[in-house]
Copies of this chain bind each other. A is one copy, B any other.
Amino acid sequence: MSRLRFNITMSLDGYVAGPNQSLKHPLGEGAEHLHDWAVRTRAFREIHGDRGGGEAGVNDDIIRETFDNIGATIMGRNMFGGGPGPWRVEPWTGWWGKNPPFHTPVFVLTHHTRSPLEMEGGTRFIFVTDGIETALAQAKKAAGKKDVSLGGGANVAQQYMAAGLIDEMELHVVPQLLGGGERLFKNLDDAKVRLDPTRTVEGPGVTHLKYRVLK
């Protein structure tokens, strides 16, 4: 059965993005190095269409695993980008260029209707305006027997966690203290989300903590 899988990089003090996100600091101030562990891997470069370089090893294996058996992706409006601002490019087609690294249908949660966007490499952005359950139902249908990947950001992840819709979660915990920004578990507690640890993997500069979400 298709599962909803969520993985995200979190600072040791619980943030998935720094404060004051902007074009200059799309991940927020101080968070420029949050994803370095991932960017360095061979898998990351391959997924982004760069065939050269990158490191093999534990972190590379973890990245490959997160993309393995994924048939559809869900993300929030903030992750897709294109909000108001002098830097806005029209028409906005996401942060990732012509060939985004998803290579699946991507269901973008938004309040504004928009026609689907066909990108290169198998990515198709579909804009969903009627809520997280509908987006999940559409994504699962598109994924078929494969799983659905929840891409973030924090706000959308919180909505899916609070609704009990996530099946598996992996946190990539990096030894940084952002000191502010988007807290992953804001407004959540044990009454809403109960986690069963299933695996811990130590990689260079990051610890991968995997959980089954108890229903």
Which of B178, B179, B191, B207 lies in contact with A207, CB distance below 8 A? B207
Q: From residue A206, how far is it (CB to closest CB) to chain B in Å?
A: 8
CB of B205 within 8 A of CB of A207, answer: no
Number of interface residues of A (CB under 8 A): 32
Binds B, one of A45-53, A106-114, A142-150, A193-201: A193-201
Task: Give the distance to chain B from A54, nearest Cβ to Cβ, in Å.
Answer: 21
A175 contacts B189, C-beta separation under 8 Å = no
Cβ A175 vs Cβ B195 within 8 A: yes
Q: Is the CB of A175 within 8 A of B196?
A: yes
Q: Shortest beta-carbon distance, A169 to chain B, in Å?
A: 10
Residues A13 and B177 in contact in the complex (CB < 8 Å), given A197-B207, A205-B197, A207-B200 = no
The answer to the question of A63 belonging to the interface, with a C-beta cut-off of 8 Å to chain B, is: no
Q: Determine the main DSSP class of A at the interface with B.
A: loop
Which chain B residues border A13 with CB–CB below 8 Å? 14, 183-185, 188-189
Nearest to A174 among chain B residues (CB) is B197
Determine if A82 is an interface residue (Cβ-Cβ < 8 Å): no
With A and B bound together, what is the CA distance between A189 and B202 in angstroms?
23
> Cα distance A38–B110 when bound, in Å?
45
A132 contacts the other chain (CB 8 A)? no
Partner of A209 from the list B14, B184, B207 (CB cut-off 8 Å) is B207
A179 to B192, CA, bound (A): 10
A190 an interface residue at 8 Å Cβ cutoff? yes
A209–chain B nearest beta-carbon distance, Å: 6
> Cβ of A67 < 8 Å from any Cβ of B?
no
| Closest B residue, CB atoms, query A191 | B179
Known: A13-B14, A178-B190, A197-B207. 6 other contacts (CB 8 A): A12-B195, A13-B183, A13-B184, A30-B189, A179-B187, A200-B207
Please report A residues at the B interface, Cβ cutoff 8 Å.
Answer: 12-14, 30, 171, 173, 175-180, 183-185, 187-193, 195-197, 199-200, 202, 205, 207, 209, 211
